[in-house]
């Protein structure tokens, strides 16, 4: 396993957890469709960022 995964995985999991929590809160508190759409958009952007980072790490190869 690349050392980059060890450094990147906890941060990515924390950020994804926060995005999912914010989306869940927006749905539970019935903040309206605007808030849910906004949080869904941010979650999608975050997932895209995580996927791109995985591709970058794979292209760099094993460093550790």
Instruction: Report the range of poorest mean pLDDT among 2-6, 20-24, 43-47.
Output: 2-6
Position 64 confidence tier, pLDDT thresholds 50, 70, 90: low
Tell me if 51 sits within 8 A of 43, measured CB to CB. no
Task: Report the range out of 2-6, 9-13, 56-60 with the highest average pLDDT.
Answer: 9-13
Q: What is the pTM of this model?
A: 0.73
Query: Is 4's pLDDT higher than 80?
Result: no
Closest CA to 27 of 5, 46, 63, 19: 19
Per residue in 6-31, pLDDT (tens digit) is: 888 888 889 889 998 988 888 888 88
- Measured CA to CA, the distance from residue 9 to residue 7 in angstroms comes to 6
Query: With contact defined as beta carbons under 8 Å apart, do 63 and 1 qualify?
Result: no
> Using CA atoms, how far apart are residues 17 and 59, in angstroms rounded to an integer?
26
């Amino acid at each position: 396993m690349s050392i980059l995964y060890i450094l990147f995985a906890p941060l990515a999991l924390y950020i994804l957890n926060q995005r999912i929590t914010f989306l869940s809160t927006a749905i539970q508190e019935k903040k309206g469709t605007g808030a849910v759409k906004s949080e869904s958009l941010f979650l999608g952007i975050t997932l895209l960022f995580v996927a791109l980072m995985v591709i970058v790490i794979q292209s760099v190869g094993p460093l550790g």
